[in-house]
Every structure is written in structure tokens, then in C-alpha cells.
Amino acid sequence: MRQFLPALRNGFGFLSTIPVGISMEGIENLMKHIYLFPVVGAVIGIILAVIGLASSLVLSPIMLALVVIISIYYFTGINHIDGLADFGDGIAAHGTKEKKIAAMRDTAVGTGGIVFCMISILGLFVSLVSIQESNVYLLLPFALIVAETSAKQSMVTVAAFGRRIHEGFGAMTVDNTKRSDFIIGTIFSASVCYIVLGFPGIEAFIISQLAGLMVLNTANRHFGGVSGDIVGAANEIGRLAALLYLGGAGWILL
């Protein structure tokens, strides 16, 4: 318990902008409890759900989508979408795996990164508007909980089955994520998604994890492994996949 609570606190410090404090000792504890990632995601999802529900009472679907997107990046920061940008730059680069890794690690954002981020944000906007316009009672707040929980589990999925390509926080995550973390995280995440949205929630969760595995497969082909940027990209793509599903065919099943 003495390690668990600091790990959970640092989980919020590591994965969100919530001012709980963070330390290297706490990060080391967190790395021993990677399965806590989706727990943090569920709490962030609840915060976003409250914001979305309150906003839906006074805002149009378009304005609501804008408020929710701003809230997502206010509470989660831009580290993960920065990882998505770097991921896009690496994929867009031509040449050997070494050149692609160098492009991914370059601090300047290239065309590939810009395009990936534009598609991601546009996809969030479209899915949120679609969810709100479906007029399914409480679908939006519940979808936000499912999406954020699934997104964090997507990070665990990539880290559990990936191999690191260089040092850094990403390497720490990959090196310390065990299959048991993946199993515990999956059970927790699937349970949350089922409690919140039933079978459509489970389906959105599965779609999100498949998206994470797609990120992993793409990273293996282009870079020969994964880094912190790719783990962050899995978060963004996992969230987007869940929301797109719930904004499309998923809500019909409710």
C-alpha cells in the first residue's frame, strides 16, 4: 500500500496536468504498477464526463465538441499528441529505420506530424458532434469515460507487446510493463466500459485496443520497436477509435 498510493498519485502527475506533484521515486513506483494507467484514465474520463454533461445543457453540439476537446488537452496535456506528431513525422520520413527514428526524434514538427494531428483533432470533433446529435440519453458523458479509460489501456497494450528502440521514459514504460499489467488493465478497463455502456462500451474498448495494436504493428515496421512517442500516439489513436465507433455504428446498438 505504501508503494501503491504514491504510484497512483504519480500516475496522475505523469498522465495528466492535475497538480498532484511528481517525483522520480514516485515514477519508479508507478513503473511497477503500470496497470494503474487505465485507472487514471477512468478518473480523467469522469472529469470530462461532468464537463460534457454540464456543457450539453447550454451549448450546441458544435460548441460542445470544442469545449470537450479543449478540456481533454487541458487535463491530459499535449505530451501525447506531441508523440502523435512525432509518430507521424517518423512514418512520413523516407529511408532506413535509423532515418525514420531520427525524424521522429527531431524537435521540429514536419508535415507528417501536422497531418496526423489535424486528422486526430478533426476526428475527435466529428465523433463528439455525432455522439451528441444521436440524442441517446447520457451517451456523451459515458462515451468520454469509455474513451479515456480505453486510451490509457491502449498505452499499456503497446508497452506490453512492444520492444524499446532507445532510452527515455518510453523505455522505462516498455521495460516495466508485464503481461500481468496488460491482463489486470484489460480486466479493469473492460469492466468500466461494460458498467458504463454495456456491450457497446466493450465493443468500443476492443476497437480501441485493436487501434493500439495497429500502432504497434506500424511502429515495428517503420522503426523496429516503440518509444515514448509511440506509446503517447497509442493514447491519442485509442481515444479517437473508441469515440469514432460510439459516434458511428456503436450508438445504434444502445
Residue 2 confidence (pLDDT): 63
Other CB atoms within a 10 A radius of the CB of residue 180 amount to 11
Q: Which domain holds residue 127?
A: 4-253
Chain-wide mean pLDDT for the chain? 89
d(CA 215, CA 219): 6
Q: Which of the given ranges, 9-23, 84-98, 204-218, has the highest pLDDT on average?
A: 204-218
The structural domain count of the chain equals 1
Confidence of residue 249 (pLDDT cuts 50, 70, 90): low
| Contact partners, residue 165, CB within 8 Å, separation at least 6 | 101, 223, 224, 225, 226, 227
Higher pLDDT, 139 or 24: 139
Question: What amino acid is encoded at 3 in this protein?
Answer: Q
Residue 232 confidence (pLDDT): 92
Whether the pLDDT of residue 119 is over 70: the answer is yes
What is the average pLDDT across 52-67? 94
Contact 236, 81 (CB under 8 A): yes
User: How deeply is 61 buried, as exposed, middle or buried, from its count of CB atoms within 10 A (0-12, 13-18, 19+)?
Assistant: middle
Structure confidence by residue, pLDDT tens digits, 145-166: 999 999 999 999 999 998 888 7
Contact 104, 86 (CB under 8 A): yes
For residue 226, what are the β-bridge partners?
Answer: 164
What is the average pLDDT across 81-85? 91
% of the chain residues with pLDDT over 90: 59
Structure confidence by residue, pLDDT tens digits, 1-50: 567 777 788 888 888 888 877 777 767 788 888 999 999 999 999 999 99
d(CA 76, CA 114): 19
For residue 164, what are the β-bridge partners?
Answer: 226
Residue 1 confidence (pLDDT): 55
Whether the pLDDT of residue 253 is over 60: the answer is no
d(CA 25, CA 200): 39
d(CA 164, CA 151): 20
SS (H, E, C) 108-140: CCCHHHHHHHHHHHHHHHHHHHHHHHCCCCCHH
Angle subtended at Cα 184 by Cα 18 and Cα 131, rounded to the nearest 5 degrees: 60
What is the average pLDDT across 121-139? 91
Residue 148 confidence (pLDDT): 97
Residue 168 confidence (pLDDT): 67
Contact 236, 83 (CB under 8 A): yes
Whether the pLDDT of residue 105 is over 70: the answer is yes
Whether the pLDDT of residue 250 is over 60: the answer is no
d(CA 132, CA 203): 19
Host H or E run for residue 107: none
Considering only CA atoms, which of 91, 212, 210, 106 is closest in space to residue 155?
Answer: 212
d(CA 136, CA 177): 37
What is the average pLDDT across 241-252? 80
Residue 252 confidence (pLDDT): 53
Considering only 15-19, 194-198, 231-235, which range has the smallest mean pLDDT? 15-19
Residue 239 confidence (pLDDT): 96
Whether the pLDDT of residue 77 is over 80: the answer is yes
Residue 9 confidence (pLDDT): 82
Residue 248 confidence (pLDDT): 81
